[in-house]
Amino acid sequence: MSIKPLKELSTLVSLCKRRGFIFQSSEIYGGLNSCWDYGPLGAQFKLNVKMSWWREMTRRADIVGLDAAILMHPTVWKASGHVDGFSDPLVDCKACKHRFREDTAMVDGKVTCPKCGSTDVTESRSFNLMFKTHMGPVDNEGAVVYLRPETAQGIFVNFENVATSMRKKIPFGIAQIGKSFRNEITPGNFTFRTREFEQMEMQYFVKPGTDEEWFEHWKEVRWSYYGKLGLNQEKLRYKEHGPDELAHYAKAAFDVQYEFPFGWQELEGVHNRSDFDLSQHQEFSGKKLEYFEEASKDRFVPYVIETAVGCDRLALALLCDAYREEPEQDNRVVLGLRPELAPVKVAFLPLSKKPELQELSQKLHQQALEHWEADYDETASIGKRYRRQDEIGTPLCVTVDFDSLEDQKVTVRHRDSMAQDRVAMDQLHSYVGDKLRNW
């Protein structure tokens, strides 16, 4: 069967709006640039993405979770280097007034406006990406706090708390999911780059000297995660940062890149952050952040291997990857998401609006809701309802027809093959559970 993958991002954007995945923020006021709201299906889908990551990371003996505050002591951001160094070079095009990042707009060694192609541009100015706000009623410099631009610092400043309270011995990791904010100069490509986004970060603390080995280990573990999510391996690759691309804290860095409809782009960063962060916090806070290793009697500031992925960005990659059109099936659109990621696992569809069929379908729907996200739909023709479920990625549809009232069986239709099985109602729960588990 021939399959057409996603060509244009705009096709996905309209599906997301039409089917309740993602809406423009404050749309009735004309929207707010680069801000997006996850609708009912998008919210569930994104939660499933987060759960898959959280499970992968924290269901191990050597990693624990954390949920730190967005607002942190302002000195954190001095120590981390963000106050002085977290900035992008900003340039304005004199011809079309477009504003862009100098480092992303070099053509043949010349800064070139990505919008109109002019090289008549202003000198670059350094623009700090952190959002500033004020804490308390007094709006002065002393009350400045920042919306965190990354979740990692919440982990570093809690290193000691976590190690002590959880009796963790090195090597161990701390995983966290949370919102971050960056006043990006050029947000865009739907949810790919936004100013408010969610990150899923894990910092793994190791003994200096073992960091390179652990770095390789985490590169492999993270690669295998994307396979488990079902992402097309041909659209994934690792890209190493050259010496001039490395962030101020990094000893080594690899990006996992995904081929979006708008090109190869970073999905996740795997970084060897050395002992930079803990040493900085030790210096700025005056608190010792050393680790004492019982066995060797060594005392050291741990090195950190970090894996950092944007939840929204991964969700977007998964949607792009899952989207397909099937020309031989009347151009049916399918989101081929793995069942654990699909926002609805099973939908109940009475064949017609006859009360007996509605009642039975609703009863089965209620029973299913105890175990899975389940939908009920009685509008439009059965064919249209199947297509609607295909478009949101629902793996299984259960149809209740007139025979069901007699033989106590229902028809289960599979999203990918469109095959249909007749299943006894008292077997339905184990049938659905089995299919979802062994997809």
Q: Which residues in this chain contact ligand ATP in the complex, by CB under 6 A?
A: 150, 182, 184, 193-194, 197, 199, 266-269, 308-310, 312-313
Is the separation of the CB atoms in 51 and 128 below 8 Å? no
Give phi and psi for 111, each to the nearest 5: -70, 120
Residue 150 Cβ vs ligand ATP, minimum distance, rounded to whole Å: 6
Supply the DSSP string of 145-182, one letter for each residue.
EEE-S-SHHHHHTTHHHHHHHTT--SSEEEEEEEEEE-
Which residue intervals of 304-409 are DSSP H helices? 311-322, 355-369, 382-392, 402-407
Distance, in Å, from the CA atom of 232 to the CA atom of 6, rounded to the nearest integer, reads 13
CA torsion 357-439-322-269 (nearest 10°) is: 140
Residue 197 Cβ vs ligand ATP, minimum distance, rounded to whole Å: 4
C-alpha of 53 from chain center: 9
Q: Considering the complex, state which of residue 312 and residue 390 has its C-beta at the smaller distance from ligand ATP.
A: 312
Distance, in Å, from the CA atom of 3 to the CA atom of 242, rounded to the nearest integer, reads 37
Q: Considering the complex, state which of residue 309 and residue 351 has its C-beta at the smaller distance from ligand ATP.
A: 309
Which residue intervals of 23-147 are DSSP H helices? 40-58, 74-79, 82-85
Residue 373 Cβ vs ligand ATP, minimum distance, rounded to whole Å: 25
Residue 159 Cβ vs ligand ATP, minimum distance, rounded to whole Å: 19
Preceding omega of 327 cis (within 30 degrees of 0): no
Q: Considering the complex, state which of residue 266 and residue 326 has its C-beta at the smaller distance from ligand ATP.
A: 266
Q: Which residues contact 25 (CB under 8 A, 6 or more apart)?
A: 31, 32, 35, 36, 37
Residue 35 Cβ vs ligand ATP, minimum distance, rounded to whole Å: 11
Q: Considering the complex, state which of residue 268 and residue 401 has its C-beta at the smaller distance from ligand ATP.
A: 268
Q: Considering the complex, state which of residue 266 and residue 378 has its C-beta at the smaller distance from ligand ATP.
A: 266
Residue 256 Cβ vs ligand ATP, minimum distance, rounded to whole Å: 8
Helix (H, G, I), strand (E, B) or coil at 231: coil
- Tell which phi-psi region holds residue 40, choosing left (phi > 0), alpha (psi between -120 and 50) or beta: alpha
Is the separation of the CB atoms in 115 and 105 below 8 Å? no
Q: Considering the complex, state which of residue 38 and residue 348 has its C-beta at the smaller distance from ligand ATP.
A: 38
Helix (H, G, I), strand (E, B) or coil at 84: helix
Q: Considering the complex, state which of residue 68 and residue 351 has its C-beta at the smaller distance from ligand ATP.
A: 68
Residue 198 Cβ vs ligand ATP, minimum distance, rounded to whole Å: 8
Residue number with the shortest CB distance to ligand ATP?
Answer: 310
Residue 204 Cβ vs ligand ATP, minimum distance, rounded to whole Å: 15
Q: Considering the complex, state which of residue 152 and residue 347 has its C-beta at the smaller distance from ligand ATP.
A: 152
Residue 39 Cβ vs ligand ATP, minimum distance, rounded to whole Å: 18
Q: Considering the complex, state which of residue 150 and residue 401 has its C-beta at the smaller distance from ligand ATP.
A: 150
